[in-house]
Structures are given as C-alpha cells and as structure tokens.
Amino acid sequence: MFTVTILTVGKLKEKFYLAACEEYRKRLQGFCACSLVELPECRLPENPTAAEIQAGLTKEAEEIKKRIPKGAFFCVCTPEGRELSSEELADTLRRIKTGGKSSACFLIGSSFGIDPSVKAMADLRLSVSKMTFPHHLFRVMLLEQIYRAESIQAGTKYHK
C-alpha cells in the first residue's frame, strides 16, 4: 500500500483543526496509509534577527532530514513552489506510484520557512497559492488535496 507522510514543524492545538485533519486522514485510509509527524519548532525571541532565524531553520532542518522516509518522493510546500491543479497533483501522485516509489513525504515548514538545504532535497516544491495561509489551516488543506488527488485517481464522485 502506498504511504503518505506529512511532516509539520509546529504543534497543532486547536480542536477544530485537529478534527478536520483526523477526518481527512481517516478518509485517506481507503486509498493509502497516512501519518502526520509533528516536529518541534525552534523557539526564537520576539523579534529575531536574520541570523537567529537562520540558526533556528538550520536546527529544524536537522530534525526534518532525520524524519524523511528513505526512498520517498519528497515534496516541500513553499510559497515559491509550483502551483498545481488538483488534477495535476493526482497525476503527480500517479506517476510517483507507477515510477516505483511506494511512499511520498510532504513537508510543511515553520512560520519562518524552511532551510535552503531541505528545499534542495525536494523532488517537488509545491505552492497552493500566492496567498498566505496559517500553517494549521494549510495542514487541513494539504490533507484535503491529497484525499482529492487519491479520489481523482480512483474515479470517485468526490471531485467534481
């Protein structure tokens, strides 16, 4: 069975976001195994300097690199990434599966971004919009889009 891992920097606390994430994770079980891994966000001062931010991103990168499943297709969610339609995401996942990979890993970075060394490792840099979204909401949006992509591949009526 295909496996999807979503790595997120930062902890989700709000019950309504948690409930939405769990709903899409449950729905995905019919198509693939899906796990969410929360990594600690580096604590920074109230008004961090550029050097402090970079040091924090470097520290987060160490943990991220340890948690990327070996051999997985690695997608970094980042504002400067490529925008894909739902159908294009479905096609990307289909190509990953038919190309011999048994897993995909998506990364949602911290509020300060993602270390360039992690971005350089990505098979795909993905952006969902030029707009800015809260990381917690984006987690729900990403799960929904992965579910939609799997539904498209399966030919269900979810995607209209």
pLDDT of residue 154: 95
CATH number of 3-154: 3.40.1280.10
Q: What is the DSSP string of 59-102?
A: HHHHHHHHHSPTT-EEEEEEEEEEE--HHHHHHHHHHHHHTT--
Q: Which residue has the higher pLDDT, 132 or 18?
A: 18
For the chain, the average pLDDT equals 95
pLDDT of residue 159: 75
| pLDDT band at residue 158 using 50, 70 and 90 as cut-offs | confident
- Is residue 145 within 8 Å of 34, Cβ to Cβ? no
Reduce the DSSP state of residue 5 to 3 states and report it.
strand
Residue 97 CA: distances (Å) to CA of 72, 151, 156: 11, 15, 19
Cα–Cα dist 57/89, whole Å: 27
Tens digit of each residue's pLDDT (9 = 90 or more) over 8-33? 999 999 999 999 999 999 999 999 99
With a cut of 80, say whether residue 160 has pLDDT above it. Answer: no
